[in-house]
Amino acid sequence: MSVTAATGFAAGGLACGIKPDRQLDLAVVTAVAGTVGAAVFTTNQAAAAPVTVSKDNLAAGPSVRAVVLNSGCANAGTGDDGIAAADTTVAAVAANVGCAPEDVLVCSTGGIGKSLEVDKVVGGVATLIPQLAASSAAGRAAAEAIMTTDTVPKEAALQKGGFTVGGMAKGAGMVRPDMATMLVVVTTDAVVQAAELDTALRAAVADSFHALNIDGCPSTNDTVILLASGSSGVTPTREELTSAVTQVCWDLANQLAADAEGASRVVTVEVVGAVDRATARRAGRLVTDSALVRSAFFGGDPNWGRLLGALGATDVAFDPNEFGVAYNGIAVAEDGREVAHDAAALHRAIAAGDFTVTMTIGRGSGAARVLTTDLTPEYVNFNAEYS
């Protein structure tokens, strides 16, 4: 199960008519009274109306009783009409759940610049909410209803120390740290105070979704929500909660990468030897911005010089004489120079599919990992045609 794995939550999805051909396009997740929430939102300056409304509702207090999400229309670039549509959606959910509007968060995904057909959403909410369930099938329907260019629904769950964390995500393009193009709802039945929940979420996002870099373009609607119902009665330590939430978010981030538009392989770039973790993460992000580097990944070409050149073109301070690269554990460069290696074995290792690149940039203790994909002709073709 995914978003319904933790106790205290119900979910579901249906077709309300935003998408053609009766495709699922509306999802709702509800939570028991007493549930608290935290969220991380896009840093895009053109943030969509639902982001604005959700921020305002969370600012009013941490209580969250429902999250409503639609696909097929981002409700972005819609001005005051977009805010009104998001507010109307929130009010409809609140009326059907029996809670205050401030206890509802709203998310949208799809094409930018189109007005949301809010009457269809309101009608769909009234039909869907009485049908919500805590089953895995209901969770899967919700995960399917938030898909846009995704080819598969994305779900994850983990049981640990008497409490459960589960989640669902959507996203396949416009993926760049801070944030990535995604809608994510993560739930837990742990007993957590709102401030600790926010801390755990931000730490988890930093090591998962913020480590995902596909095409350098953060979207207008990106939202990651974490809800805690307390239904398990278990109060984990801060470390236990953060670890569990991070594991679920990392799982979902890997699924986002695997389903990235046009991608044929997922590449994990591990950066070690930096002065600190933040520097390591920045180095990984900037190197994976390089079209040359990601083209080499597509060809399965262990051209470590492209990594060196890409890092050298950034403002990250490092000593080229301490630079090293290994592909799937096979070293090809150390201390700024190529080293002897079994080229045939290396080609076999990285030609098979997904692989890991370890990049040493110094002698420090800072380390981080970044997820990316190869740059393929299919990616270019897809994004030249999709609108």
**Which of 42, 149, 164, 181 is flagged as catalytic?**
181
What span, in angstroms and rounded, lies between the C-alpha atoms of 82 and 48?
8
What span, in angstroms and rounded, lies between the C-alpha atoms of 15 and 2?
20
Concerning whether 4 is annotated as a catalytic residue, the answer is no
Written in H, E and C, the secondary structure of the chain is CCCCCCCCEEEEEECCCCCCCCCCCEEEEEECCCCEEEEEECCCCCCCHHHHHHHHHHHCCCECCEEEEEECECCCCCHHHHHHHHHHHHHHHHHHHCCCHHHEEEEEECCCCCCCCHHHHHHHHHHHHHHCECCHHHHHHHHHHCCCCCCCCEEEEEEECCEEEEEEEECCCCCCCCCCCCEEEEEECCCCCHHHHHHHHHHHHHCCHHHECCCCCCCCCCEEEEEECCCCCCCCCHHHHHHHHHHHHHHHHHHHHHCCCCCCCEEEEEEEEECCHHHHHHHHHHHHCCHHHHHHHHHCCCCHHHHHHHHHCCCCCCCHHHCEEEECCEEEEECCEECCCCHHHHHHHHHCCCEEEEEECCCCCEEEEEEEECCCHHHHHHHHHCC
Closest CA to 37 of 5, 8, 73: 8
State how far the alpha carbon of 256 is from the alpha carbons of 37, 260, 274, in Å: 23, 6, 27
Which residues are known catalytic residues?
181
